[in-house]
Chain A
Amino acid sequence: NAGVMQNPRHLVRRRGQEARLRCSPMKGHSHVYWYRQLPEEGLKFMVYLQKENIIDESGMPKERFSAEFPKEGPSILRIQQVVRGDSAAYFCASSRSTGRSGNTIYFGEGSWLTVV
């Protein structure tokens, strides 16, 4: 049973380009979360999705950032017109549910975005 798979692991973009990060949750998991970790900081919640639905996007910047989790395929975090301040590690996590049976949330290896 593969873990949470993220790609690319490392991405370099020039200012103004688009970054697209992908996340495949663990098998059987229908809940996906995206977190951002700036250098030397903790993880900050961005967005929580279930299949085809955005449940909570309270941590997403109002502009340039979007996320989706289609019925088929991975979840995608998209950052348009990147700026240097977007440089960070972006972690995806998944869980089976949020009820008592969904105790553990598993994190992917992360995607490190560098904007030059």
Chain B
Amino acid sequence: ELKVEQNPLFLSMQEGKNYTIYCNYSTTSDRLYWYRQDPGKSLESLFVLLSNGAVKQEGRLMASLDTKARLSTLHITAAVHDLSATYFCAGRTGIQGAQKLVFGQGTRLTINP
């Protein structure tokens, strides 16, 4: 059974700093998703990582995937207040035609001026 764990669960940082959120998963997952959620809102898709070594960047966010280590990271560069949100990673599990996402607990990121 796929389990996904994120750390840290809470992260408070200052604007302009860099930080990384880690996402470990327990068994094989053929892809890894990152989502952002603002309070009371839905999930916004950030990245889908499909293969070992995949790296994707969008603005100040960069995600990477190491399938051998079963680890994905979300790196934040020079944080700005607008990035304050909860970030979820999710792995995909199940047989072909019956797959589902398994989410981590989420990382609540607060960026202070």
B-contacting residues of A (Cβ < 8 Å)? 33, 35, 41-45, 48, 55-56, 91, 93, 98-99, 103-110, 112
Instruction: Tell me, in angstroms, the Cα distance from A106 to B45 when the chains sit together.
Output: 7
Q: Does B50 contact A (CB under 8 A)?
A: yes
Question: Between A and B, how many residue pairs show CB distances below 8 Å?
Answer: 56
A109 touching B33, Cβ below 8 Å: no
Within 8 A of A (CB), among B73-89: 88
Q: Counting chain A CB atoms within 10 Å of each CB, which of B41, B97, B100, B106 scores highest?
A: B100
Q: Contacts of A99 on B, CB cut-off 8 Å? A: 96
Instruction: Tell me, in angstroms, the Cα distance from A110 to B35 when the chains sit together.
Output: 15
Query: Chain B's interface: helix, strand, loop or mixed, by majority?
Result: strand
The 25 listed contacts between A and B (C-beta, < 8 Å) are: A33-B100, A42-B88, A42-B103, A42-B104, A42-B106, A43-B101, A45-B100, A45-B101, A48-B100, A55-B97, A55-B98, A56-B98, A91-B42, A93-B101, A99-B96, A103-B48, A104-B45, A104-B48, A105-B101, A106-B45, A107-B43, A109-B42, A110-B41, A110-B42, A112-B40
Instruction: Tell me, in angstroms, the Cα distance from A112 to B41 when the chains sit together.
Output: 10
A-contacting residues of B (Cβ < 8 Å)? 31, 33, 35, 40-43, 45, 48, 50, 88, 90, 94, 96-106
Q: Top 6 A-B pairs ranked by shortest CB distance? A: A107-B43, A42-B103, A43-B103, A98-B99, A109-B42, A42-B105
A41 touching B96, Cβ below 8 Å: no
Q: Contacts of B43 on A, CB cut-off 8 Å? A: 43, 91, 107
Instruction: Tell me, in angstroms, the Cα distance from A103 to B103 when the chains sit together.
Output: 16
B50 touching A103, Cβ below 8 Å: yes
Contact of B41 among A43, A106, A109 (CB under 8 A): A109
Contact of B102 among A45, A55, A108, A109 (CB under 8 A): A45
